[in-house]
A and B are shown apart, each in its own frame.
Chain A
Amino acid sequence: MSLTNVFNIAGTGMTAQSVRLNTTASNIANAETVSSSVEETYKARKPWFSVLQKQWKDVDGLNRKLDVRSQVGDGVEIKGIVESDAPLKKRFEPNHPMADEEGYVLYPNVNIVEEMTDMMSSSRSYQMNVEVMKTAKQMLQRTLTLGQ
């Protein structure tokens, strides 16, 4: 039944958005995590979304007719978390305990403005998926009362 599939799709959407929210939280929390070498410095992390394509068997004629399974995805998949390759921020702070020989401290390449907009976007998308699930639930529940 395709309506129950809506739950799975909205579920993958919610998972993906919560991972995105997690990376945003991690980025903002580590925005001021200093280091004295490029390798050790925290770099902004972003999830990499892609369409989830499952292989399905044709269960009923309608799905074969619509060819839904092969053409439309089954939600979102997180392919991985990638680190941003934007340049790190170098600040001259000779009194800092982590400063290198020249007195520079490396700050992560986290852009707070970008993270805040990302946070808002992901929380809105999460809400949207919840609404989709809610509506599908109502549709299914009404269907169960058919003939009563």
Chain B
Amino acid sequence: MSALGFKNSLGIHPQVMQLHAARAEILANNLANADTPHFKARDFDFQAVLEGESKRSMEMNVTSERHLRGSIQTDSELMFRNPYQPAIDGNTVDSQVEQTLYTENALRYNASFQFLNGSFKGLKGAIKGQ
């Protein structure tokens, strides 16, 4: 299929935008809970989730056929943030870190939007034959 096909021309950007929107929600929740005792800040590894590597599984090494094969599956993509300055009330939200990430996330969302918009403009031009 040519690069002008609807699906091909949009590339990865629709998925990226969806992921950024999901991440915005997580980071907003971190920021909203900046003063909640015992709250642990969460986030996910954007690259890994995008590449679909989020479900990691570890298997035990076996040296004999009769050994048990144990495996651990981590089904959670959401990880806990390591705080730079842990608070005495057990809260691990660093507002400035979260705010930076939130802004960066919004910018990346806008960047993806820009690319997507460009693709649509190109497609429109192709339809009109200009």
- Using a CB–CB cutoff of 8 Å, the interface residues on chain A facing chain B are 1-3, 5-6, 9-10, 12-13, 16-17, 20, 49-51, 62-63, 65-68, 71-76, 121-122, 125, 128-129, 131-132, 135-136, 138-139, 142-143, 145-147
- Using a CB–CB cutoff of 8 Å, the interface residues on chain B facing chain A are 17-19, 21-22, 24-26, 28-29, 31-37, 39, 42, 44, 49, 54, 75-78, 95, 99, 102-103, 106, 109-110, 113, 116-117, 120-121, 124
Whether A72 contacts B42 by the Cβ 8 Å rule is: yes
Whether A2 contacts B21 by the Cβ 8 Å rule is: yes
Specify which chain A residues have a CB less than 8 angstroms from the CB of B21 in the assembled complex.
1-3, 139
Specify which chain B residues have a CB less than 8 angstroms from the CB of A65 in the assembled complex.
54
Chain A to chain B contacts (Cβ below 8 Å), 30 pairs: A2-B21, A2-B24, A2-B25, A9-B28, A12-B32, A13-B33, A13-B34, A20-B35, A49-B36, A51-B33, A51-B39, A62-B18, A68-B22, A71-B42, A74-B29, A75-B29, A75-B32, A75-B33, A122-B35, A125-B35, A132-B28, A132-B31, A132-B102, A135-B24, A135-B103, A136-B28, A139-B24, A139-B106, A139-B109, A146-B116
